[in-house]
Every structure is written in C-alpha cells, then in structure tokens.
C-alpha cells in the first residue's frame, strides 16, 4: 500500500471498441496472429467461437460440481442411516430402519441442492465475483459492454505489449474508440 | 455452418423470434425502459388491488394461528382439503417456469428466451404461495423447523425419512432454493446492464443497488465462459429436479393405501398436469404483460402458439391419465378402488369431476385449430379455464378420495369455510404482488439472452 503513487500510474492495458461480434472476432484473430496472448473481450452476451479465438480452455466448473454432488449424496445417505438406524432406531409400519429404496428421494434432492450451490459459488469463485472494482470499469465507454458494444482488451501483462503498436492494431481492425486504462 | 443464407424474416416454418429487426441497443432500451420509466398509473391500481388481497391473506393466516386450523373446513374424514389442493396447485404452476428455463434450454428451444425470465419469476412466487399452505396446516408454523434434521431438544428425536411427507419437505425446499439460484444467475448480466445505464443517467440509488446485485459483472469472455457452463449445469440439475418434485408430491398420495390415491400412474400424471397448469398460468400472465407493457415484438404470436401446443400435448396426457385411472380401477377388480372412481364421476362431487374433465380435456382440444391457437381472446379464456380445471383436478383427487373411504359409517361431505376461500384468494394476491414488484423493478425479459438469439438468427459467421 506504500506504493500507491506508483501503482496509480501503472497501466492495465488498452481497450478497443467494436461494432459487432464479427468485427470483434476478426480483431481477436488479428491480435493472435500478431502474437498477443493476454487478451480479454467484454461483450453484452456470450459470443460463439470467442473462447477458441482467445485460446481459452473449457471451464473446469463441472469437476467442482461433481465433487459437490458426491458430497451431497454421501451426506444424505449418512444422515438417513445414522438418524434412522443408529441414533434413534424406531420401527414404523414394519419398515426397515434403513434401506436404499426409501432413501432415494432425499438423497437425490440433497445431491441436487449441493450441486446447485457448488455451481453458483464455483462460478463466482472462477469469475472472481462479487467484486466492486475492475480496471476495465474505468474505460470511458465501458457501459457499451453491457449494451451493444464489443470491447477488446490487450493487457499490459502481455509480453508483446506496447501502447503505440497495440493501439494502431486495434484502430486498424475497426475500433471506434481506443483508450489506455490504468490498473 | 458459417453464413446461413436464410433470411429469418422470410422463413415460413420458423418465423423470427424478435420482430421488426431491432438493434441490440433497441432490445436493451425496450426492456430497461420498463424498469426505468415513471411508474404508470395502471401499475399502482393493480398493485393496490393485489396488495389488499395480500393483506387479506395475512389476516386469514393470523386468524388461523390465533384460533387453530379448525377455522378451515377440513375435518374427519376429509383431513386434507383446500389447503393441500392449493399447495399442489401452486407447486404445479411453478413447474412450467422451470420447464421453460431449464428443459427448453437443454433442447435448444430458442423461443424460450423472451419468456423464460418471467416464467422463472412465476416459479419462485408460486412456490412461495404453495409453501404457505402446508406450513400453516401443521397448526404451529413457528415449529416448522421440526421438519428439518437439526438437533432439536424439544423434539428429542429425528425425522422419519420413511415418510413421503418428509421427502416432500426436502423436494420443495430444494426446488425453491435451486429455482432462486437459477433465476438470480440468469439475472446477473442484465442487472449489470441496468447498473451501467443508471450510472450514465446519474440515477444514484439504482446505480448502487444494482451495482451490489450485479456483483461487479463486466461481461468478460472469461466470465461468460464460466457463466455459460454454470447455466448449463443448473439447467441440467433443474430438469430432473422439476420432475422429482411433482413425483414426490404425488408420493404424498400414492404411497398411502387410500383408494383413489394408491396408484402407480400418479408421478407421470402429476408432472404432466403440473406443466399443463403452469403453461396456462404463464399464458395468462404473458398475455396481460405483453399488452400492458407493449412487448408484442418480443413476446410474439409464435411464442404464444408454441405454449398453446405444449398445453394441447400435456392436456392430452392428462386426459389419457384420467381414462387410464378409470380403466385400471375397473380392470384391477378391487371393489374399494372401483367404488372410489365410480363415486368420483357419479357421486356427490360429480360436479367437480366433470368441471375438471371439461376444462382440462375438452378446452385444450380447441388448440388443434391454428385459427384458435393464434387468437388472443380465445387463448386467454382457455388459459383461465385450464387453471380452474387443474385446481379442480387436485380437489377431486384429494377430497373425493377422502370423503368416502372403507367404512360407510365414517363418510362425510366437505364444505369450505369462508376462511378457506379467502385464504386461497389471498394467495393470488401474494402471487400478483410479487409479480408486479418483479415487473416494476427487474428486467422481465432476459436482455442478454435475447441478444444472443438475435445474433444467431442474423446468420452471422460467428454463430458456430
């Protein structure tokens, strides 16, 4: 925190503003062909093919959810077995104290419940939300990203990064407003 | 799959899902404007009426808590009556919302995008209304936590996991929770849209409230990647969940040995009926909403027609189930079962049975005709009649089976009290109040999803 002054002047990257998903994808492909690797796109809706263009890997969320599902099923089975057959055995209508048949509904429901929470919280974690700040919020035309504009960010962390050449390339690809954003 | 040549406007089989060829910005403006414009007078009028009915519900429940459930008409032999009828009715209404948001999503039915947000909201509010009835039927609602397996010194024992009633507690509470999560996740990008518009317009309150609710969403490609995966998984979870919920609701009856309840057809029959009634309710609400908010170009005739087709299909399944029940009662040869079904159709509640058959089996047959299923007054009246019919279906199943069981000496006839009636009317007040608040304060059409559909239907090279 002692280096606030220094940090303030640090760059996050450069952002270009495009008219359509097609233009954005073209810009991403151009940037990739020129060797840029640290990029991000801000769009009002998910764009098919953008992950391939950016070289993004498949989301690992499914694995998180699978673990939660197994945990939910185990919890439900242990809960029903321990409460019914161990801690307080009570014969009701001659039914067994524990059986897989009658434990299916509750096991299923808890599996779904745990998985749903894991899906949402896992997605939050992978996306690092909730957050109240992100450098891209400082882009003067940021509101277009949740309306009808398609933004491309070339991040400063990219080894190729150079403000002048990156800005030139974004303009070449049809960016309507190219702006440097601080971290 | 690049460069799809078909101009969507001229495709007779698949008419466009969004009319008038608006831009992305137009969609943002149309939907956000409903939230941002000055509250119209007719909203206040509608809200005043529904809020009054909600107060009525509160009064009736308060009266019940003070006096005990004897203020309702159910008593031996009809121990479950309007309360459980209303519970199953409201839960069923909710199921169409999940069907539209999850099952149609998995089947890639793109027409769902204009109606899924409102339908999901309807699910939540319907489940809230449903929950009230069993909660107050237990008599001491402040002890509702006894239903959950938490250490409980007053009870000193555990819940009975062998009982379908406990399964139902888990099913309905899971359903309510997962539906809320699904709905909220779907809302996040649109909340960010409202946030950014509020910031641009200098609307401070909305900027902060939506800023918190939208969690710092920025529509990054990385965000969307995880988001789309989360949405897919939630849809995949909700699909079996919605089927399980009404299956388990039907177990409340089917697992018992009461003639008329003890049938294996109940789970699929209840699920089909739930979707049938839920679509009717979505139809009623969407017809009013698109008219009141001028959304005819987003909720098009194609959407309405598709919903009518779903109602026709599920109505046929329900009609088939009625016939199967009758046939099995006769063919099974059990005298109690035979009596229960003869009594249903010809006994003292025959009026209810035939109301149910007319509304649920005859009315949807009108939708075989394209002229009728694309006619708004016709479909509006039909959707109301189907809702009436589906309420009667639950009433018939519950009350006719209970009022005359094995021993003629313990037969009876159920009549609702005024408290029964006003509580049910009040639950509509709660439902409409919540729905009106939703329409007023949150984007009622999924903005980002509609834009996604527009992008694909424009046949852009980026589509695949």
Cα–Cα nearest to B253, from B236, B242, B265, B241: B265
DSSP 8-class letter at B246: H
Q: How close, in Å, is residue B220 to chain A by CA atoms?
A: 4
Residues in B 435-464 with any Cβ partner in A closer than 8 A: 447-449, 451-452, 455-456, 460-464
Q: Which CATH code is given to the segment(s) A11-58+135-182?
A: 3.30.70
Q: What is the pLDDT along chain B (464 residues), one digit of tens a residue?
A: 333 434 444 455 556 667 777 888 888 888 888 888 888 888 999 999 999 999 999 999 999 999 999 999 999 899 999 999 999 999 999 988 888 888 888 888 888 888 888 889 999 999 999 999 999 999 899 999 999 999 888 888 999 999 999 999 999 999 999 999 999 999 999 999 999 999 888 888 989 999 999 999 999 999 999 999 999 999 999 999 999 999 999 999 999 989 999 999 999 999 999 999 999 998 998 898 888 888 888 888 888 999 999 999 999 999 999 999 999 999 999 999 999 999 999 999 999 999 999 999 999 999 999 999 999 999 999 999 999 999 999 999 999 999 998 889 999 999 999 999 999 999 999 999 999 999 999 998 899 988 888 876 554 433 33
- CA A122 to each of CA B133, B186, B190: distance values in angstroms, whole numbers, following the listed order: 34, 15, 20
pLDDT band for position A6 (50/70/90)? very low
Q: Give the other-Cβ count within 10 Å of B350's Cβ.
A: 14
Distance of residue A158 Cα from the nearest chain B Cα, in angstroms:
17
First to last CA, chain A: 14
- pLDDT at position B15 is 62
In this structure, are residues B135 and B128 in contact, taking their beta carbons and an 8 Å threshold?
Answer: no
Quick one: what percent of chain A has pLDDT higher than 70? Answer: 95
Nearest Cα of chain A lies from the Cα of B168 at a distance, in angstroms, of 9
- Which residues on chain B are in Cβ contact (under 8 Å) with A49? 462, 464
Mutate to test the interface with A, among B222, B227, B233 (most CBs of A within 10 A): B233
| Closest CB from B159, B185, B218 relative to A145 | B218
* Cβ contacts of B30 on chain A, cutoff 8 Å: none
Average pLDDT in the A32-47 region?
90
Inter-chain CB proximity A59 and B229 less than 8 Å:
yes
Q: With CA atoms as reference, report the closest residue to B300 among B290, B292, B308.
A: B290
Q: Are A144 and A10 in contact (CB under 8 A)?
A: no
Cβ within 8 Å, pair B161-A148: no
Identity of the residue in B215, B219, B461 whose CB atom sits nearest the CB atom of A44:
B219
Chain A residue closest in CA terms to B228: A46
- SS3 string of A2-68? CCHHHHHCCEEEEEEEECCHHHHHHHHHHHHHCCCCCEEEECCCCCCCHHHHHCCCCCCHHHHHHHH
Global pTM value: 0.91
Question: A95 near A102, Cβ under 8 Å?
Answer: yes
The answer to whether B462 contacts A47, with C-beta atoms less than 8 Å apart, is yes
Please report, for residues A36, A123, B75, B173, the alpha-carbon distance to residue A49 in angstroms, rounded to integers and kept in the order given.
18, 20, 62, 38
pLDDT at B456: 65
| pLDDT given for residue B359 in this prediction | 95
CB contact under 8 A, B219 and A146: yes
A92-140 pLDDT, tens digit per residue, is 989 999 999 999 999 999 999 999 999 999 999 999 989 888 988 888 8
**CB spacing of A44 vs B448 below 8 angstroms:** yes
> Which residues of chain B neighbour A51 with C-beta distances below 8 Å?
221, 225
**Above 50 in pLDDT, residue A1?**
no
How far is it, in rounded angstroms, from Cα B17 to Cα B423?
40
A21: which 2 tokens? 């998903």
Domain with CATH 3.30.70 in chain A: 11-58+135-182
Chain A residues in contact with B23 (beta carbon < 8 A): 148
Q: What is the pLDDT of residue A78?
A: 97
The pLDDT of residue B4 is 40
List of domains in chain B: 15-447 (1.20.1630.10)
DSSP 3-state assignment of B226? helix
User: Distance from CA of residue B405 to its chain's centroid?
Assistant: 32
Q: What's the half-sphere exposure (Cβ side, CA atoms, 13 Å) at A142?
A: 23
Q: CA B262 to CA B257: how far, in whole Å?
A: 5
Question: In a 10 Å sphere around its CB, with 0-12 CB exposed, 13-18 middle and 19+ buried, how is residue B104 labelled?
Answer: buried
Nearest 5°: CA angle at A170, between A165 and A176? 135
Q: Which of B161, B218, B462 sits opposite A134 (nearest CB)?
A: B218
**Does B226 contact A45 at a Cβ distance shorter than 8 Å?**
no
Residues 201-220 (B) with a CB less than 8 A from some CB of A = 211-212, 215-220
> Which among B28, B164, B233 has CB closest to A119?
B233
| CB within 8 Å: B221 and A65 | no
Interval A50-63: pLDDT, tens: 988 898 899 999 99
| CA–CA dist B327, B329 (Å, integer) | 5
Q: Pick the residue from chain A with its C-alpha nearest to B31.
A: A147
Nearest residue in chain B measured CA to CA from A96:
B162
**Tell me, what's the pLDDT at B457?**
59
């Amino acid at each position: 925190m002692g280096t606030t002054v220094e940090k303030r002047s640090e760059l996050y990257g450069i952002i270009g503003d495009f008219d359509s998903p097609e233009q954005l994808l073209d810009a991403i492909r151009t940037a990739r062909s020129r060797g840029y690797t640290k990029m991000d796109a801000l769009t009002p809706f998910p764009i098919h093919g953008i992950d391939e263009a950016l070289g993004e890997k498949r989301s690992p969320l499914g694995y998180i959810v699978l673990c939660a599902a197994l945990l939910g099923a185990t919890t439900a089975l242990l809960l029903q077995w321990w409460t019914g057959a161990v801690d307080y055995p009570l014969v009701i209508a001659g039914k067994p104290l524990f059986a897989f048949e009658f434990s299916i509904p509750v096991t299923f429901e808890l599996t779904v419940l745990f998985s749903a929470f894991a899906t949402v919280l896992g997605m939050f974690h992978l996306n690092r939300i909730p957050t109240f700040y992100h450098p891209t919020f400082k882009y003067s035309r940021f509101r277009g990203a949740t309306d009808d504009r398609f933004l491309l960010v070339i991040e400063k962390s990219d080894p190729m990064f150079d403000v002048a050449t990156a800005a030139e390339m974004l303009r070449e690809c049809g960016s309507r407003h190219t702006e440097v954003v601080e971290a | 799959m690049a460069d799809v040549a078909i101009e969507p406007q001229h495709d007779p089989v698949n008419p466009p899902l969004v009319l008038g060829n608006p831009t992305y910005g137009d969609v943002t403006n149309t939907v956000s404007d409903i939230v941002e414009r000055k509250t119209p007078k007719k909203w206040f009028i509608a809200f005043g009426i529904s809020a009054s009915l909600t107060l009525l519900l509160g009064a009736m429940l308060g009266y019940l808590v003070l006096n005990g459930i004897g203020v309702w008409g159910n008593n031996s032999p009809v121990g479950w009556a309007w309360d459980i009828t209303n519970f199953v009715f409201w839960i069923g209404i909710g199921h169409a919302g999940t069907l539209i948001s999850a099952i149609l999503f998995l089947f890639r039915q793109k027409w769902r995008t204009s109606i899924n947000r409102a339908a999901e909201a309807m699910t939540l509010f319907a489940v809230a209304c449903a929950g009230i009835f069993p909660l107050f039927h237990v008599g001491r609602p402040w002890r509702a936590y006894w239903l959950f397996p938490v250490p409980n010194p007053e009870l000193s024992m555990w819940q009975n996991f062998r009982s379908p009633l406990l399964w139902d507690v888990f099913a309905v509470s899971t359903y309510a929770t997962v539906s809320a999560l699904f709905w909220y996740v779907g809302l996040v990008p649109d909340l960010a849209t409202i946030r950014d518009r509020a910031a641009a317009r200098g609307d401070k309150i909305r900027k902060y409230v939506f800023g918190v609710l939208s969690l710092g969403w920025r529509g990054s490609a990385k965000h969307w990647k995880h988001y789309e995966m989360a949405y897919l998984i939630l849809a995949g979870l909700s699909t079996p969940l919605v089927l399980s919920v009404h299956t388990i609701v039907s177990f409340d009856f089917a697992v018992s040995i009461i003639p008329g309840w003890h049938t294996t057809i109940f789970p699929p029959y209840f699920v089909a009926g739930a979707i049938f009634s839920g679509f009717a309710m979505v139809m009623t609400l969407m017809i009013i909403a698109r008219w009141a908010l001028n959304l005819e170009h987003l909720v098009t005739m194609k959407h309405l027609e598709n919903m009518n087709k779903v109602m026709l299909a599920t109505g046929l399944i329900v009609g088939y189930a009625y016939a199967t029940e009758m046939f099995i009662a006769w063919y099974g040869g059990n005298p109690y079962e035979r009596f229960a079904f003869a009594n249903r159709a010809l006994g003292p509640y025959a009026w209810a049975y035939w109301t149910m058959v007319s509304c649920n089996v005859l009315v949807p047959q009108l939708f075989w005709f394209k002229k009728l299923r694309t006619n708004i007054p016709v479909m509006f009246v039909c959707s109301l009649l189907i809702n009436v019919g589906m309420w009667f279906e639950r009433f018939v199943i519950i009350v006719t089976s209970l009022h005359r069981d094995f021993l003629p000496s313990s037969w009876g006839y159920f009549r609702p009290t005024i408290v029964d009636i006003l509580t049910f009317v009040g639950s509509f007040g709660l439902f409409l109040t919540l729905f009106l608040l939703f329409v007023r304060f949150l984007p009622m059409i999924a903005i980002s999803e509609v834009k996604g559909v527009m992008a694909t239907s424009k046949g852009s090279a980026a589509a695949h």
